[in-house]
Amino acid sequence: MRPMLATHAEHVPPGEEWLHEVKWDGVRALTEVVDGTLRMTSRNENAITIAWPELATSPLGDRDLLVDGEIIALNERGLPDFRTLQDRMHVRKATSAARLAEQVPAIYMVFDLLRLDGRDLTDQPLEARRALLEGLGLDGAWQVPAAYDDGAMLFDATLAQDLEGIVSKHRTSRYRFGERTTLWRKHAHRHRVTYVVGGWRPQEGTTDRLAALLVGEPTPEGLLYRGRVGSGIGAKQSRALTELVAGLGRDASPFADEVPRVDARGTHWLEPVLVVDIDTHGRGYSRLRQPSFQGVRTDLTPEDL
């Protein structure tokens, strides 16, 4: 099962037929409890239960359940931040996961209820599913985030609080696994965009110290070059990225368009399979402006973009 997805929108939809929620900067997860066994899966259907031991016990015990939500952790400013999850989301060893859970505790923001006690709720309108969800009394490691009637207010409030953005959902929307729908619309404040890596460049004066990534945007015309990103790649990130690109080398550029000579010089070309998040100064430009590397998205593939 893959979760239902929202479409990007430029404006918050007005009207009483919409509910509005905070857009959480975390890892999407579907969680199912069947015959007392809990299983969490990522948006690309990978099993991730072992990475989140503090979330792997349902607050409803053994009750049959299927929910959708976002796993978040707070940064030093007390804000949800995807980067705080980087060291946790790839862990597949129970002892390491338990240690990291103590250091960086996670919270599961449960925003949709899809099945309860054997009853399929996906054909119920969102408003009805929310009412049932809010009546479960979830608190602690699993929480139900608030929904708001005033989207403009929430947009301004989340902007002022430096949160990622908001998601607007039509009250009548049914849940359709794996579909991207205009009945759910997301509005991000940060200019964080997800790209595909097509090459890497070493630090000047070295041959093997990864210092920058060349990234592109998947389009019907192929992978189009969007820029070179070096900011945000410190020693720790460089080592991790070096391991991830090992074995992905290729002889020619994977980009469908021409990479400027200043960027192509000295670049090691890669098979376009690695997905990363980049913060940029603005949208709507053919090249990234003041980009900064934010993290690898192992929960996404180029096809998801």
| Neighbouring-strand partners of residue 181 | 6
Partners of 50 in the β-ladder: none
Q: Would you list the DSSP string of 237-255? A: HHHHHHHHHTT-B-SS---
Active site residue 236: no
What is the rounded distance in angstroms from the CA atom of residue 127 to the CA atom of residue 78?
30
CA–CA distance, 40 with 52 (Å, rounded to integer)? 9
- How is residue 224 written in tokens? 């189009």
Of 284, 231, 293, 225, give the one whose Cα is nearest residue 260. 225
- Residue 124, SS3 per DSSP: coil
* Residue 244 to residue 255: CA distance in whole angstroms: 19
The catalytically annotated residue of 23, 169, 186, 236 is: 23
Which positions ≥6 away from 135 have C-beta within 8 Å?
none
Q: Which residues are catalytic?
A: 23
